[in-house]
């Protein structure tokens, strides 16, 4: 250990178990309030029903909280788990963790997936999941040492405030010369002072000899972390190999890993070139299809978007292999070396920026009207080190700018900040204010839903207008895709469990661009299959990018190319070879359905999870203002006449806007009906008793919960 | 001469992405093609020239995200 000063608050030794078919067979609970540890067994039912990863997290959290629990109550827990395949070093994208907690933004259960080494190392250290509850005074560091089999809760003074520096210091302290064996989870001052704090999960970049970080961004779990008085979680593990998970059939595992790796190595250079540019290629494709959010989701296109395109960022990225887990041949986790910020505590110093990815570019860039790549890098950097989610930051800031532009707020309310779209200095000031919990930044840092309420209450703003343009649903800020012209993606956002994040369904191209699902039945089928299959990745410790961001050469000849069934077959073999449970791609849907429905029920337990919470702001469905309508008048006029048989020629824009809105809102309700029916839910969006029984999640408290909501069949 | 998904195709002066897709008789969904290092989206197929010697790959963009 290094030289940082610490006081030991509690410690215990444990026997490091041998893993069996991807499982350590136990979880670790830490109560910060009483400085107590508890090791709990993983039951057979947990494995069969919840699989691992998000499933384990949800089960632990369900048992930790009551329906009345608030995000900042001591019993709320931060749960982290990878999954049975997590840590496999030969299969691309096998190092993910999922974090869950009760969210300060939504008040309900939140999940966020992340790369870095923590989840797999935790498992190799002997725990399938970690559950941290209770509250401490601050400065607490949990250290799980998988080399010696010991757990320590430490109080450490004098640690850096910002997340990157903290990860670096703790990696050095606990890793010494073996820094690759250490992973750190930390947040930062921005997480403490906003409601959308993120968590940084570290991994050691041996080539660059530095600690790198990936972010569990969504839903403010970093804020919960800080509120608990946690400074960091640290895990250290011994060396590991393909044998460490003790897979049921190592030869079969090697065969499917080889096949998938071969596809990626051969096809990524021909397709999206993610190993060179990450997800930055998406920016211009979105812009060209009118799907890149600009100016708080008003429009989908901007003439300056090319400044934020892949060609620019590929020149800025530090070349080299950038996998966020061993053996990931997609290697999309790029960064920029030697960047010099113009503002804030690192002004004038050279720093390394992890990113940006597409979501950050669109969120803090185009959506706020900033088309300068260096400002995007600076915001990306500070969001990360302060522990702030770039997506919520971008969408919340864009909303504040829209309110400023529309006259809802002015200089008096912003403390003199000119929040005109594109004003990069104001946006950077706002970000530094957020980290300090000061000024108007502290207001924006509470998120869109809070701002809406405040602006109506304090400044007499029009509540309906703010509801239309405030891009949140369930309290979570939208991620960065325009959905106005894709009903299926409106459902992909609105009917998602945790709020509008595209990790459940990304159907825009299938729906809007290719028109491959024109009927409600087709849309609802896809809004069943895709959320289920995408959930499955989060149960197993897997990244979904290798599934469908690179597709097999013969994919277009398959019956449903969007499902990338060639890769799904490999995943079914992968699951079977590690866990010993023989499955087909169809079985993967059923595996996920159990957890998916359980999460929906969890929302219900927390007082949400019904139709009323699945509403989305109108700007996600169509033009919310006259200006937006007129910017794409031909498109909307044509829809009114061709699709709805209305003669728009005698109508003024406001009348057309109203007519279109009525139709589109009707469509969304019809879609909701169809999706609920397909998922086996009541018209109010609650899983039926029949569904719950079919999935084997009819635990007594679940049945009781359903009965309390009048669901008995 | 250019290559499209690793197959050789005769090039002609003024060839656009739309011409190229017509030449190969492409039917399925294709929202994006990569021409050398640049991704070109469907709304720009008509206006985007394909240079001689280009390496072109069709990218369906139906999954992803
Ligand atoms: S595809 Fe990218 S994000 Fe996913 S595991 Fe590989 S490097 Fe990490």
Of A285, A548, A549, the CB nearest to B32: A285
Which residues sit opposite A111 in a β-bridge?
Answer: A100
Give the pLDDT of residue B60: 72
Q: Which two tokens stand for residue A700?
A: 């007594």
The two three-digit tokens of residue A130, written as one number: 């970690």
Instruction: Encode burial over A315-338: b for 16+ CB neighbours within 10 A, e otherwise.
Output: ebbbeeebbbbbbbbbbbbbbbee
The pLDDT value given to residue A169: 97
The per-residue b/e assignment along A361-376, b for 16 or more CB within 10 angstroms, e otherwise, is bbbbbbbbbbbebbbb
Residues in chain A, pLDDT under 50: none
- The alpha carbon of A453 and the centre of ligand 1 are apart by a number of angstroms equal to 38
pLDDT of residue A546: 95
Of all residues in chain A, the one with the smallest CA distance to B59 is A271
CATH of domain B2-60: 3.10.20.30
- Among A546, A554, A556, A567, the strongest candidate for a mutation testing the B interface, having the largest count of B CBs within 10 A, is A556
Residue B62 has pLDDT above 80, yes or no: no
- What pLDDT does residue A412 have? 97
Q: Judge if the beta carbon of residue A328 lies within 6 A of ligand 1.
A: yes
Q: Which atom of ligand 1 is nearest to the CA of A333?
A: 7
Cβ contact A557:A502 at 8 Å: no
Q: How far apart are CA A657 and CA A484, in angstroms?
A: 13
**ipTM for this model:** 0.93
Question: For the whole model, what pTM was predicted?
Answer: 0.97
Confirm if A305 and A295 have CB atoms less than 8 A apart.
no
- Asked if residue B63 has pLDDT above 70, the reply is no
What's the pLDDT at B30?
86
Beta-carbon separation of B63 and A564 below 8 A:
yes
CA-nearest of A581, A583, A534 to A562 is A534
d(CA A61, CA A133): 10
pLDDT of residue A648: 86
Taking only the tens place, the pLDDT of each residue in B5-58 is 999 999 999 999 999 999 999 887 789 999 998 999 999 999 999 999 999 999
Contact assessment for residue A336 and residue A316, using Cβ atoms and an 8 Å cutoff: yes
Give the pLDDT score at B29: 79
Interface of A with B in 257-286 (CB under 8 A): 270-273, 281-282, 284-285
Tell me if A98 sits within 8 A of A112, measured CB to CB. Answer: yes
List, in sequence order, every beta strand (DSSP E) within A629-701: none
Contacts of B41 in chain A (CB under 8 A): 284-285, 288-289
Residue with tokens 């709320």: A76
Residues linked to residue A232 through DSSP beta bridges, in sequence order:
A141, A186
Are the beta carbons of B64 and A516 separated by less than 8 Å?
Answer: no
CB contact under 8 A, B6 and A288: no
d(CA A127, CA A119): 9
Domains of chain A plus CATH, in order, are 250-477 (1.10.569.10), 622-679 (no CATH)
Sign of CA dihedral A125, A127, A129, A131: negative
> Torsion-angle region of residue A39: left (phi > 0), alpha (psi -120 to 50) or beta?
beta
Residues 6+ away with beta carbon under 8 Å from A170 = A4, A141, A159, A182, A184, A186, A232, A234
CA distance A229 to A223: 10
For ligand 1, say whether the CB of A332 is within 6 Å of any of its atoms: yes
**Interface probe, candidates A113, A267, A270, chain B, greatest B C-beta count within 10 A:** A270
pLDDT of residue A219: 98
Ligand 1 contact, A79 CB (< 6 A): no
Distance (Å, whole) CA A25 – CA A94:
19
pLDDT of residue B28: 78
Asked if residue A323 has its Cβ within 6 Å of ligand 1, the reply is yes
Name the residue at shortest CA distance from atom 8 of ligand 1. A324
> What is the token pair recorded at A598?
């359980």
The confidence score (pLDDT) of residue A556 equals 84
């Amino acid at each position: 250990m290094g030289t940082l000063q610490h006081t030991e608050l509690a410690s215990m030794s444990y026997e490091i178990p041998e893993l069996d078919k991807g499982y350590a067979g136990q979880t670790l609970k830490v109560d910060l309030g009483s400085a107590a540890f508890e090791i709990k067994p993983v039951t057979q039912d947990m494995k069969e029903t919840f699989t691992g990863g998000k499933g384990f997290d949800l089960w632990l959290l369900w048992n930790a909280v009551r329906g009345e629990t608030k995000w900042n109550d001591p019993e709320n827990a931060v749960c982290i788990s990878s999954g049975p395949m997590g840590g496999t070093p030969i299969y691309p994208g096998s190092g993910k963790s999922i974090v869950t907690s009760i969210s300060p933004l939504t008040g309900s259960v939140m999940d966020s997936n992340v790369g870095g080494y923590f989840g797999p190392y935790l498992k190799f250290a002997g725990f399938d999941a970690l559950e941290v509850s209770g509250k401490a005074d601050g400065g607490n560091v949990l250290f799980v040492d998988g080399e010696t089999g010991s757990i320590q809760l430490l109080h450490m003074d004098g640690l850096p405030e910002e997340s990157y520096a903290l990860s670096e210091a703790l990696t050095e302290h606990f890793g010494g010369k073996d820094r690759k064996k250490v992973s750190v989870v930390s947040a930062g001052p921005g997480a403490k002072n906003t409601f959308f704090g993120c968590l940084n999960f570290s991994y050691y970049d041996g080539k660059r000899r530095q600690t790198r970080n990936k972010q569990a961004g969504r839903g403010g779990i970093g804020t919960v972390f800080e509120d608990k008085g946690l400074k960091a979680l640290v895990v250290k593990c011994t060396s590991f190999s393909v044998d460490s998970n003790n897979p049921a059939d190592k030869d079969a595992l090697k065969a499917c890993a080889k096949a998938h790796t071969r596809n990626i190595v051969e096809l990524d250079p021909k397709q999206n070139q993610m190993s060179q540019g990450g997800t930055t290629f998406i920016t211009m494709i979105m812009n060209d299809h009118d799907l890149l959010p600009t100016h708080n989701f008003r429009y989908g296109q901007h003439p300056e978007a090319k400044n934020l395109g892949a060609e620019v960022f590929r020149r800025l990225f530090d070349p080299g292999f950038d996998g966020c887990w061993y053996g990931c041949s997609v290697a999309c986790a790029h960064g920029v070396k030697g960047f010099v910020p113009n503002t804030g505590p690192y002004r004038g110093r050279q720093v390394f920026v992890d990113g940006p990815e597409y979501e950050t570019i669109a969120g803090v860039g185009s959506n706020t009207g900033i088309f300068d790549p260096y400002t995007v890098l600076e915001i990306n950097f500070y969001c990360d080190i302060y522990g702030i989610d770039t997506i919520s930051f971008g969408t919340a800031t864009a909303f504040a700018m829209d309110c400023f532009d529309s006259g809802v707020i002015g200089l008096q309310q912003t403390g003199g900040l000119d929040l005109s779209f594109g004003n990069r200095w104001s946006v950077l000031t706002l970000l530094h204010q957020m980290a300090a919990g000061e000024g108007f930044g502290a207001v924006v840092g509470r998120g869109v839903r809070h701002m809406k309420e405040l602006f109506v209450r304090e400044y007499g703003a029009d509540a309906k207008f703010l509801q239309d343009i405030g891009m949140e649903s369930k309290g979570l800020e939208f991620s960065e895709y325009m959905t106005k012209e894709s009903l299926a993606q409106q459902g992909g956002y609105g009917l998602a469990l945790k709020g509008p994040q595209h990790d459940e369904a990304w159907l825009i191209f299938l729906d809007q661009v290719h028109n491959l699902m024109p009927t409600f039945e087709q849309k609802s089928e896809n809004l069943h299959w895709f959320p289920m299959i995408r959930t499955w990745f989060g149960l197993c410790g897997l990244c979904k990018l290798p599934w469908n961001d690179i597709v097999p050469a013969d994919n277009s000849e398959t019956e449903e190319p969007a499902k990338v069934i060639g890769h799904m077959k490999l995943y079914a073999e992968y699951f079977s070879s590690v866990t010993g449970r023989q499955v087909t791609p169809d079985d993967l849907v059923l595996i996920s359905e159990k957890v998916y429905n359980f999460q929906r029920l969890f929302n219900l337990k927390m007082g949400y999870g019904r139709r009323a919470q699945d509403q989305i702001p109108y700007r996600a469905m169509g033009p919310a203002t006259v200006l937006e309508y007129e910017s794409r008048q031909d498109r909307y006029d044509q829809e009114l006449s061709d699709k709805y048989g209305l003669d728009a020629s005698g109508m003024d824009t406001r009348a057309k806007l109203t007519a279109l809105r009525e139709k589109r809102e009707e469509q969304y309700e019809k879609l909701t009906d169809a999706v609920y029916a397909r998922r086996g839910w009541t018209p109010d969006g609650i899983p039926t008793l029949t569904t719950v029984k079919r999935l084997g999640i009819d635990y007594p408290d679940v049945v009781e919960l359903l009965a309390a909501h009048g669901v008995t069949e | 001469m250019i290559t499209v998904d690793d197959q050789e195709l005769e090039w002609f002066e003024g060839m656009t992405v739309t011409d190229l897709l017509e030449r190969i008789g492409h039917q399925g969904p294709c929202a994006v093609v990569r021409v050398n290092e640049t991704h070109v989206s469907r709304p720009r197929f008509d206006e985007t020239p394909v240079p001689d010697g280009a390496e072109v790959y069709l990218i369906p963009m139906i999954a992803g995200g």
